[in-house]
Structure 1
Amino acid sequence: MKKIKILYPYLILFFLIFMGPVKVGPITFSQVWKIPLFVFLFWQVLIKRNDKKLGFIKWSYARATKNIVTANFSISYFYGIVDFIRYMMFPLMFEYAYRHIKNIRKLDKLLLGFAQFVIISGIPFTFGLLESKAKDVLSFKDFDSYSGMFQNSHGAAITTTTAVLILLAYIKSKSTLIRFPKLNYALLAYGIYLIYLTYIRTGYLMFVIGLIFLFLPKKLTLKQVLSGLGILILVGVGFYILLESNEAFYNRIFDIRNGKQTAAGSGRLLFWMASVELWYNGNIFEMIFGHGFFDLIMHMYQETGLPVYAHNEFFTQLGQNGLLGIIFFIGYLISLFKFILKRKTLPSYRLAMAIFFLYGSLMMTQGGMWFELDIFMVLVFVKLEFENVLRKRMFRNA
């Protein structure tokens, strides 16, 4: 009975994420269940209890609220409200988790459990027991990428990469929560395989950056430098072998779709230029407050033939939310980095820094808000703050 109680929340979460892309009228099932979640969190955090907030949380609230004030909000009000809710999830979940999770041990169980769950969720899809409901914006006729229970391959790559790095962090620290080491090593290897199956370069980059910051020593020795070079050589050789032996992998890395070479970076340079052009040609109000979602998407469609974001959070914010959007986003990043850096003597510092920089790489190459990644970030940063509070208590009681 106890094991069933442990599995029950994960089964519900699997259903909610898996059914996410399904249309329910004009919106998706993902939006249907996240709206009441948002209302609940908003009531618990901002209305019922409005406590003193950390700096990066204040910036995060400002960043979310900015989506409601744009030059063309009357046209794209629906999408502005949707983005407001999406961007509010991270700070609301952080404050709720910080107040309601009672101790670090419980938080560790949630963080590790969610990471293991994300990786295990791939089993029914890779073994053909379930078919993904994902709907990617771009289709690839020459190969199938892993999407699993997520809404698209990018979501699968981003979330699985983060899960693998978190599991690796717990294995590396020899956490007492890792009860079956061999099984978790197998799970780790399977997670890395899932990342590979996504064929998403953003996920590959996030994985490499996460590894670097997770294993980067405080002081480099000659032995560590040589070991690092050896690992890089092994990774390089493995990467070369994959390129030579796997045509689908080669085509994805070099952006060859259906036998044709596409624009560099899946056309990212074109997206960025289109976003800057939209912003630069706006009036003063539009340059400060942005054009809003609808104008940005329509301009992208006219310039590139695809109704998409700019594939870079800085350029997306510039077009959608103007200079204020950029200021709030940069303020959020700087404040979050300072929050982590001030806690560099704590056990979770290295993991928090790895998560921050893999998030930064995601913002540079893709952008947007990813709900499952938000959950990971919330739990990691709450864990770091718990450790900080415990340290302060120890100093006071010493």
Structure 2
Amino acid sequence: MKITKTILPYLFIFFLIYWGPTSVGPTTFSQVWKLPLFGFLIWQIVVIRNREKPGFIKWSYARAAKNLVTGGFSVSYVAGIIDFVRYMMFPLMYEYAALKLKGPKNLDKILLGFAQFIIISGIPFVLGLLQTKAKDALLYKDFDSYGGMFQNTHGAAITTTTAVLILLAFLKLKSSIIKYKKLNYALLVFGIYLIYLTFIRTGYAMFFIGLVFIFMPKKLSIKQIVSALVAIAVLVFGFFYLLETNETFYNRIFDIRNGKQTAAGSGRLLFWKASFDLWFSGNMFEIFFGFGYEGLLDKIGEVTGIRVYAHNEFFTQLGQNGLLGVTFFIGYLISLFKFIWKRRKMPSYRLSLAVYFLYVSLMLTQGGMWFELDVFMVLVFVKLEFESAIFKKAVEQRKVLQGTIKAS
């Protein structure tokens, strides 16, 4: 019965994510099932609850609301509302988790369980029991790219990388909630294999960045420097070995698709320039409020022939939401970093910092909102907040005790 109660929620989550790309009228199933979740969170947080919010959560709400006021909102109001809902999910989920989760131990079980689930979900796809619905995985004639239950291969790479790093952090700290350590180490190796199978450079970069921050020592010693150099040498050797022996890996690293060399960075420089040119050509209102999502896609489509966003959150926000959008995004990043830095004595500090910087790297190379990554970020940062609250309470109790002893 206990196993059934544990497995059933994850089967339900698997169903929601796997069928996410399925068309439902003018939208997708992913957008449809998130609407009732959005409504529930609004009811729980905005209407019923009233609590002090961390600074980065306030910036998050500002980022979301900004999507409702753009130069192109009257033309593409549906896209604006969809982006409003997407960007609202992170702060709403954070507040809900901070209110409802009962202490760090319960949160750790959820965080570790979700990370394990993300990795385990790849098994039926690797074994050929299920076919991915990731549409971009079908674009490559030269090779198969792992998409798993996700809507695209980038989503698979981003989420799986985060899951692997979280599992690694729990193993490194020798967490008491980890059972069957050998099995979890096997799961870790399988997760790294899944990251490799995505053939997504963003995922590779995020994995490396995460490793640096998780294993970064507080004080350097000769032994740690030598260990770090050996680890880097192994990674570099493995990288060049794959370049020499694996044509698929070589093609993805150098962006050769279907036998043809594409533009540098999959055309990112063109996307960024198109976004900047669009913003720079606007009137005063558009410079501050942007052209909206459809306006940005139309401009990039006009320049490159592909209607996509800028593949960099700064340029995407510049074209879509103007100077205000960029300001809110930068404010969010600075405020979130301060939140983490103030809690640098907490056990989850390194993991939080790793998640923060892999998120920043993602925003620089891809951008956008990724729901499963948002879930991980919520759980990690709420965990950090819980630890800080416990630490402050312990300090206050110690002060009271010391005052009582002095008084007596």
Q: Does 1:155 align with 2:120?
A: no
User: Does the 8 Å contact 2:137/2:147 carry over to 1?
Assistant: no
Structure 1 unaligned segments of length 5 or more: list them.
Answer: none
CA shift, 1:50, in A, is: 2.5
Instruction: Say how many residue pairs are matched.
Output: 398
Aligned counterpart, 1:222: 222
Question: How far apart, in 2, do the equivalents of 1:151 and 1:260 lie?
Answer: 25
SS in 2 for 1:369: coil
Question: How far apart, in 2, do the equivalents of 1:343 and 1:155 lie?
Answer: 29
Per-residue displacement from partner, 1:18-73 (whole Å, max 9, x unpaired)?
A: 00000010010000100000000011001111322110000000001000000110
Question: How far apart, in 2, do the equivalents of 1:353 and 1:240 lie?
Answer: 29
Aligned counterpart, 1:315: 315
Q: 1:6 to 1:95 in 2, by over 3 A?
A: same
Question: How far apart, in 1, do the equivalents of 2:376 and 2:309 lie?
Answer: 24
Aligned counterpart, 2:405: none
SS in 1 for 2:282: coil
Alignment RMSD (CA, Å): 0.8
Considering only CA atoms, is the larger Rg found in Structure 1 or Structure 2?
A: 2
Q: Give the aligned residue type for 1:246.
A: N
Q: 1:373 to 1:342 in 2, by over 3 A?
A: same
Aligned counterpart, 1:242: 242
Question: How far apart, in 2, do the equivalents of 1:145 and 1:155 lie?
Answer: 12
SS in 2 for 1:111: helix
Aligned counterpart, 1:292: 292
CA shift, 1:233, in A, is: 0.8
Aligned counterpart, 1:374: 374
SS in 1 for 2:139: coil
Aligned counterpart, 2:193: 193
Question: How far apart, in 1, do the equivalents of 2:114 and 2:351 lie?
Answer: 16
Question: How far apart, in 2, do the equivalents of 1:324 and 1:170 lie?
Answer: 39
Aligned counterpart, 1:16: 16
Aligned counterpart, 1:280: 280
User: Does the 8 Å contact 2:137/2:145 carry over to 1?
Assistant: no
Q: Give the aligned residue type for 1:234.
A: V
Question: How far apart, in 1, do the equivalents of 2:109 and 2:308 lie?
Answer: 37
Question: How far apart, in 2, do the equivalents of 1:302 and 1:42 lie?
Answer: 38
Question: How far apart, in 1, do the equivalents of 2:300 and 2:376 lie?
Answer: 31
SS in 1 for 2:70: coil
Q: 1:369 to 1:131 in 2, by over 3 A?
A: same
Question: How far apart, in 1, do the equivalents of 2:218 and 2:308 lie?
Answer: 41
Q: Give the aligned residue type for 2:169.
A: A
Aligned counterpart, 1:349: 349
Q: Give the aligned residue type for 1:152.
A: N
SS in 1 for 2:21: coil
Aligned counterpart, 1:209: 209
Question: How far apart, in 2, do the equivalents of 1:92 and 1:378 lie?
Answer: 9
Question: How far apart, in 2, do the equivalents of 1:373 and 1:173 lie?
Answer: 22
Per-residue displacement from partner, 1:337-383 (whole Å, max 9, x unpaired)?
A: 00000000000000000000000000000000000000000000000
CA shift, 1:251, in A, is: 0.2
Per-residue displacement from partner, 1:172-211 (whole Å, max 9, x unpaired)?
A: 0001111101100000000000000000000000000000
Aligned counterpart, 1:251: 251
User: Does the 8 Å contact 2:137/2:146 carry over to 1?
Assistant: no
SS in 2 for 1:68: coil
CA shift, 1:138, in A, is: 7.9
Give the TM-score of the pair, scaled to structure 1: 0.99
Aligned counterpart, 1:77: 77
Question: How far apart, in 2, do the equivalents of 1:347 and 1:182 lie?
Answer: 23
Aligned counterpart, 1:182: 182
Question: How far apart, in 1, do the equivalents of 2:102 and 2:59 lie?
Answer: 26
Runs (4+) of structure 1 exceeding 6 A deviation are none
SS in 1 for 2:72: coil
CA shift, 1:240, in A, is: 0.8
SS in 2 for 1:387: helix
Identity across aligned pairs (percent)?
68
Structure 2 unaligned segments of length 5 or more: list them.
Answer: 399-408
Question: How far apart, in 2, do the equivalents of 1:32 and 1:75 lie?
Answer: 22
Q: Which moved more, 1:387-396 or 1:112-121?
A: 387-396
SS in 2 for 1:268: helix
Q: Does 1:266 align with 2:266?
A: yes
CA shift, 1:137, in A, is: 8.4
User: Does the 8 Å contact 2:162/2:373 carry over to 1?
Assistant: yes
Give the TM-score of the pair, scaled to structure 2: 0.97
Question: How far apart, in 2, do the equivalents of 1:72 and 1:194 lie?
Answer: 40
Question: How far apart, in 1, do the equivalents of 2:378 and 2:170 lie?
Answer: 17
Q: Give the aligned residue type for 2:47.
A: I
Aligned counterpart, 2:401: none
Aligned counterpart, 2:25: 25
Aligned counterpart, 1:128: 128
Aligned counterpart, 2:404: none
Question: How far apart, in 2, do the equivalents of 1:137 and 1:96 lie?
Answer: 34
